[in-house]
A and B are shown apart, each in its own frame.
Chain A
Amino acid sequence: MSKIIKNDRIVDDTWQVLKLAEGETAETVALPATPSLLPLAVWLARKDEILASNASFGVWLESGEGPETLAGDLDHFALIGVNFPKFADGRSYSTARLLRERYNYRGEIRAIGDVLQDQLFYMKRCGIDAFAVRADKDIEAALAGLRDFSETYQAAVDQPQPLFRRRAA
């Protein structure tokens, strides 16, 4: 079983991420029976079918997709994935904040893709609370990345008040 970081701890995890292979389309791909994060396109194309099935599902967003198209559907998901195709692609930080701060999404937001120790702190600040650390990395070591800083200047999801509203005079 694979492991992820969730709520600051390492836990076992059974969720799979469905990606469309070459030649597959959102309309025709087989829906997995095991708990899976589905591509946004699959969700948009087959909402009714997915809702009628018994399988556990969530949706994952590619870095360029943004949360807008999901805004009305968030109640259906206990889990949303945000992808980092490369760790230097920072769009999913904005996606995560929007999900939390604009759309008040309260379920799990999981970072998937190129998820590495040195970005975990920023991800957490943006409202991501589960981290599928890249499989070849030491997840125990990566956990330390959540604690790189004990204080921060800006308002963000983990601390909605900027430092200047909290600093003792």
Chain B
Amino acid sequence: MYRYDSIDQQIINERVAQYRGQIERNLAGTLSDDELRPLRLQNGLYIQRHGPMLRIAIPYGQLAAAQLRKLAEISRRYDRSIGHFTTRQNMQLNWPKFEETPEILGELATVEMHAVQTSGNCIRNITTDEFAGIAPDELTDPRPWCEVLRQWSTFHPEFAFLPRKFKIAVNAAAEDRAVIRAHDVGLEVIRDEAGELGVRVFAGGGLGRTPVIGKIVREFLPRKHLLSYLDALLRVYNRYGRRDNMYKARIKILVNALGVEEFSRQVEEEWSFLKDGPTTLTDDEFERIAAHFAPPAYETLPADNAAFLGAIASDKAFAAWVRRSVHAHKVSGYAAVTLSLKAPGAAPGDITDVQMEAVADLADRYSFGELRVSHEQNVVLTDVRKLDLYEVWKAARAHALATPNIGLLTDMICCPGGDLCALANARSIPIADAINKKFDDLDYIHDIGDISLNISGCMNSCGHHHVANIGILGVDKNSEEWYQITVGGQQGNTTTIGKVIGPSFYAEEVPQVIEALINVYLEQRTPSERFIDTFDRLGVEPFKERAYAGRDKRRPVKSANTVEETAHV
């Protein structure tokens, strides 16, 4: 993975000093809360429902074991021994003390980490495929591209105060695992006919209040032009994106207002002045960065391992885990492993300090000391020998990291929601918990098979509910928590926005509604169909009908709990 040189380190150290000064001035009264707000946000610090929340950057989801150990230590020392992985592959600490945040950033800097631009109206953390570098279906490793972009976007002087946040994702595999079409800019690494590497550029995608699938603004951009082209694109957005209404300020609104042809034309025109300038990426620089991502020292191993196959045959629980959690690797004899952070009873994406240390140990022992965070809020060991999988499973299971539910109903993406997030309309963790309780039979969940269920506590859509097969969105009606349900969303190459099935539901109704939707699928599916395939064949109607069937009987009397909760919202 990328390691800092002395200059990278110095820049991050200076950032810590700058931030420390800002907090000191705020406490001394010479920097107002309003003036501090955008500054602290660009250092990941939110002021939340219960107090501050610090969002730590994990560039493109890559972590070294030593960094995860540092996160464990920080969570213990400065928080409540727990961290939360987000859909942007970052980690959030929910209980830090405001005054201690400079210390935390100082600690992070000692392991080449930071919280730079994890919030605010600037270019955010770049995200990519959690299997980058090892996926059999990838054209090339996207991580060097991401690191090039990380450096370019870090403290970009022109784009620190954009109309709104700006998210970039990169995919270099046949199957898009980075949801690039739901980003402000999505980059798909491809080759042109001549074999040259470059990117197809999507722009104007995004979830939130107005979900939009990104449109192609350039079919092919040679690698060397990556940064100058993005400078041009961001400049058009910075100058002409709306600033009068924060709900209309994302680039998707600009792209739609101009039309994609006109937007592309303006970007091309701006780019014509910047193209071939000093920002043109050199092969030397790309190679310098790519060298950091050279493959580890793999052993030469047979594709299959007798002990591994034997364990699958003799241990049903292990076999179930392998089926869901073990993924193909481009190198013979190796596999990638997803450690589930979706154990029943745990908040999706949460990881304790003890689990962090356990994962770090597993990475050190079995996966060349590195790991990834997935946008589905799980942790991935990318380079495990198949012959070690049984040991990895046993160790993971001892730390509740081996729930065999990856890609299944209970592998929910879920934002922190109203329990923690100040922007929430409704809570999301209790919904995840209720669904977990309803669907607590693993065999049943395996029978339902591949499905995605995502929960967002408000329209900001951090939980990516629009692109889930079943999406749940918290809405606020007269200060009560309600949940709107969408069906038929998908991520990947066929990214689709789910359809709202109708009026929203009470929290207590949600698990039954999910069950109703699942039942339509189970009754109607053909042997080869996944939930989404059945949905695509039947359309929304039968699902809608079942979800609302007998609704009046289900509708609960307003519970005391709901009343109490609304009091402090």
Contact = CB atoms under 8 A, between A and B. Distances in A.
Interface of A: 66, 87-91, 93-94, 97, 102, 116, 118-119, 121-123, 125-126, 137-138, 141, 144, 148-156, 160-165, 167, 169
B512 interface: no
A149 B14 CA distance: 6
Contacts of B243: 89, 91
19 contacts: A90-B159, A90-B161, A91-B238, A93-B159, A93-B238, A94-B158, A121-B157, A126-B157, A138-B30, A149-B11, A149-B155, A150-B10, A151-B11, A154-B279, A161-B278, A162-B278, A164-B151, A164-B282, A167-B285
B152 interface: yes
B284 to A, nearest CB: 8
Interface of B: 5, 7, 10-11, 14-15, 18, 21-22, 30-31, 35, 38-39, 121, 151-152, 154-162, 227, 235, 238-239, 243, 273, 277-279, 281-282, 284-285, 288
Given A88-B38, A149-B14, A155 B277 contact: yes
Most buried by A among B7, B11, B158, B243: B158
B154 to A, nearest CB: 6
B143 to A, nearest CB: 17
B14 A94 contact: no
A119 B22 CA distance: 12
A118 B161 contact: no
Nearest to A124: B157
Given A66-B239, A138-B30, A165-B278, A156 B157 contact: yes
B22 A118 contact: yes
Contacts of B238: 90-91, 93-94
A122 B157 contact: yes
Contacts of A141: 30
A155 B230 CA distance: 13
B14 A165 contact: no
A153 B154 contact: yes
A143 B239 CA distance: 28
Contacts of B31: 118
Contacts of A151: 7, 10-11
Most buried by B among A116, A123, A151: A151
Contacts of B154: 153
Nearest to B274: A101
Contacts of A66: 239
For the complex of A and B, 8 pairs with smallest distance between CB atoms: A90-B161, A125-B157, A164-B285, A122-B157, A153-B151, A93-B158, A155-B278, A148-B18
A102 B152 CA distance: 21
A137 B32 CA distance: 11
Given A88-B38, A137-B30, 16 more contacts: A90-B121, A91-B238, A93-B158, A118-B22, A144-B21, A149-B15, A149-B155, A151-B10, A153-B152, A154-B155, A155-B277, A155-B278, A162-B227, A163-B7, A163-B151, A169-B284
B35 A87 contact: yes
B158 A165 contact: no
A88 B161 contact: yes
A140 to B, nearest CB: 12
A148 B159 contact: no
Contact of B155 (A87, A88, A152): A152
A91 B239 contact: yes
Given A87-B35, A93-B158, A138-B30, A162 B279 contact: yes
Nearest to B151: A153
Most buried by B among A93, A137, A163: A93
A149 B157 CA distance: 12
A125 B204 CA distance: 28
B105 to A, nearest CB: 14
Nearest to A145: B18
A141 B25 CA distance: 10
Contacts of A163: 7, 151
Contacts of A152: 11, 155, 157
B161 A154 contact: no
Contacts of A93: 157-161, 238
Contacts of B35: 87, 116, 118
